[in-house]
Amino acid sequence: MNFARVVDGVAVDVSREPAVYFPALLVAEFVEVPDEVAPQWRLNEAGEWVSPAGAGAYLPELVIVAIEPDADHAAAVLLNGLHDVTCPAGTVLTFRAELRGPAGVLIPVSDVFRMPLRARDGRERMVLAVMEEGAMTVNVPLRESGAWAVDEATINESLPLEKRMRFAGVQVFVVEV
């Protein structure tokens, strides 16, 4: 199930769990939308969602394939799949992901972009995402406790339409030790 914050018929924020990733004031503005709806999709006169590139356009998917903690904190990190992490403050996590097209085929794109990491309490940090031949690496030093997350809306917000992607999201709970 997907939810979107819609402004003037355009999905501006899209998330599977808006209550986790957005401030409470914005959560009330989210409505249920079909799973394929992504940021910048428009609701047409017939009540159908249309991608910015037109009907039937495909957005590649960024898929996390590994999460690796630094050696000093590895024993204290709890992974619940590849979308939920609990770790002590001071941990450096390395996320590895792949940009996949139809049928899960790797898309050989090389690029670098800024990716926002947001806390529930409103804090925001930027990390650098480096993609080489469709394989992305992001190193995230987690110095402060908090509930941090990246979802599809945040990963796409600064990207041009032609570089946007689907992303299931990840949340990281950083605990005091």
> Is 2.30.30 the CATH number for 61-175?
no
Structure confidence at residue 55 (pLDDT)? 46
Domains in the chain: boundaries: 2-50, 61-175
Structure confidence at residue 80 (pLDDT)? 92
Quickly tell me which residue has 């939308």 as its tokens: 33
- Measured CA to CA, the distance from residue 119 to residue 137 in angstroms comes to 21
Which one, of 28, 29, 34, lies nearest residue 16 by Cα? 34
Write out the H or E segment, with its range, that includes residue 21.
Answer: helix 18-21
16 and 27 Cβ atoms separated by less than 8 Å: no
- Measured CA to CA, the distance from residue 157 to residue 136 in angstroms comes to 18
* Tokens standing for residue 25: 């004031």
Quickly tell me which residue has 């690796």 as its tokens: 68
- Measured CA to CA, the distance from residue 83 to residue 167 in angstroms comes to 10
Q: How many CB atoms lie within 10 A of CB 87?
A: 24
Which one, of 33, 41, 49, 32, lies nearest residue 12 by Cα? 41
pLDDT in tens, 52-78: 765 445 689 999 999 999 999 999 999
Per-residue pLDDT of the chain (177 residues; tens, 9 = 90+): 789 888 888 888 888 888 887 788 888 888 999 888 887 788 888 888 887 765 445 689 999 999 999 999 999 999 999 999 999 999 999 999 999 987 788 999 999 999 999 999 999 999 999 999 999 999 999 999 999 999 998 898 888 777 889 999 999 999 998
Which one, of 176, 150, 172, 141, lies nearest residue 78 by Cα? 172
Structure confidence at residue 53 (pLDDT)? 62
* Secondary structure (3-state) at 18: helix
